[in-house]
Amino acid sequence: MPEENKRAPKEGGERPAGRRPSGKSFNKTPGDKRLGGNRNDKFGKTGNQGGNRPPFRGKDGAPGQRRERRADSAPEGERRAPEEKAWQKSEYRPNSGDHARRNENNNRFGGNRGRFSDKKPAFGGNDRRPRGDAPRRDGAPTPVRRAPKPEAKPVPKIAPSDGMASRRLAYEVLTLVINHGAYASLALDEKLRESTIPAVDRRLAARLVYDTLDSLSYLDFALSHVMARPDDSDQKLMNVLRLAACQILLEDRIPESAATNTAVQLCKEIGLEGLAGVCNGILRNLLRDVENIPWPDRKEEPVRYLSVLNSVPEWLVERYIEDWGEENAAAMLGVRAHNKAVTIRRNLLRGSDEQFEATLAKKVWTVEKGEIPHTWNVKNALNLGEDNDFKNGEFSIQSEGSILACCALNPKRGWTVLDACAAPGGKSCLMAEMMGGTGRVQAWELHPHRTELIEAQKKRLHLENVRPMNLDAAKPRENLNQTMDAVLLDAPCTGTGDLADKPDIKLRLKEENVTELVKTQAELLDTVSAYVKEGGVLVYSTCSVLREENGRQVEAFLQRHPEFEISPLPDTVPEKWRARADETGLQLLPHVDGAGFYLCRMKRKYSV
């Protein structure tokens, strides 16, 4: 502080005009802001405002107690006290000026607490004002004037579950999927991100969505038995009834009364107050007549029986039976995704299996070692994609079939590999890791937004040898002929191997789609196979169980391209699956492997 700004106390204890007592002295040092030192740099002022003050001294020259002054005895130039003193009011006015700033600073360290507070000041408190019980001239206590506290921001609280939050969210997702053609997984993820409902309600909502979609035809068949005019029903009401019927017929842990009452309440919330009574009546009829529903007879109508029971179109049931027989068809269609484990694999460029298992041991998940090297099966994990280790690239979420396709290709260090239909990028990244970060993986994808998914995977895993490209794999590029060490074509397909995980496929898949997809697969195989060099590898895969997309597709390709031949699966594919491969490839089945997947490894022959 400049010397000219320092003011010493006058003899006899008189204070300089315009100054207020500073209370106790703490032997402050200049510039010590924490203890109320020179704050000129903080407030942009000079002088003694908030700076180093000499201790207040009494008439005898010793440090003394501040005494109240009469208003009429104030020195000239000092503000006189108002007629009505602040302490005479029941409410205290906020401080202003230098003291307001000083009190604000004190509040940061625990100062300015009420006189009856039972909490000790936090470390560093420096309340300079007289105590609240300091005597006044009239003997009454002097109230403490406190600076206004900042208004506390409300903390969002999660309301207790009343059962409606999960039903409401499930209904919204079902409406998007059934009436507007949305993808169930995407619609559900979006709604869950927007929601603040408890975890228990989130899990219930997800289960109700997938169970309702998985058994949609089954529920409609049951409801049609107890409805007077099912075909004329309001679409909103039908989705409410389907959701309630799912709880009544499929969910053992939900009371029937809860399913009925929440459905009636949901009708009122979505603007169907006039149909709430109709909804209640239909559901009560279902409860009374559930034992009398005339389900199709399996012996007399096996196709219709499997169609209604599994909510699968009859044309698709016929193809299952043709390819696999009635018993295997019934077993595959009957697979459900309840409490199904999720497969994860560690980043092969980081640490070891032992180190990753130590990381998993800190989680609250249920974890088992997978049969494929470097994989684990996880249960009871909510929002795996939000896990910090996942975000940091320590592991990836990937199905066993997808991992096996990369194992079948078995890329080597320094190879140039093409992943022709690469999104969302799991296989591209795994092959890049298997190559030890060397070589290059070209990841082609037709749609720009899906190409961005590959780029996001690459960045998350910190891979430099993956090249995402927005290219159409069906368009021939002669400059690339016989330039690739290996090509992986995970072709577009019906997705019939994933019906349990993606039940909305049943709503979208039409018989004519199969013919179109088989034609597209053949065109892609003809195009990308040209890029494989002599002795190079071509792997073809789908997530389908239909033979015309898989084995028969490969047989037709080999007839058109005699320069290729079937190649045995390498040791990177575990013996469990290698033993099941035949002359047309390896087929995974839902009731055996948890999901359906097909792959075939071929090799371009050396020219004679």
Q: Give the closest residue to 365 by CA, choosing from 389, 401, 398.
A: 389
Query: How many residues are present in the chain?
Result: 608
- Rounded Cα–Cα distance for residues 420 and 23 (Å): 79
CB atoms within 10 A of CB 62: 9
Q: Which residue has the tokens 């506390």?
A: 152
Q: Which residues pair with 395 in a beta bridge?
A: 346
Alpha carbon 92 to chain centroid, angstroms: 49
DSSP summary character for residue 75: P
- β-pairing, 532-542 vs 597-604, is antiparallel
Q: What is the 3-state secondary structure (H, E, C) of 92-155?
A: CCCCCHHHHHHHHHHHCCCCCCCCCCCCCCCCCCCCCCCCCCCECCCCCECCCCCCCCCCCCCC
DSSP summary character for residue 471: -
- Rounded Cα–Cα distance for residues 442 and 422 (Å): 9
Task: Return the axis-axis angle of helices 551-560 and 511-528, rounded to nearest 10°.
Answer: 40
Contact 444, 469 (CB under 8 A): yes
Tell me, yes or no, if 493 is annotated catalytic: no
Q: Which residue of the set 246, 429, 543, 600 is catalytic?
A: 543
Phi, psi for residue 295 in degrees, rounded to 5 = -65, 150
Tokens read off for 575: 């013996």
DSSP summary character for residue 297: P
Tokens read off for 579: 């033993």
- Active centre residues (catalytic): 543
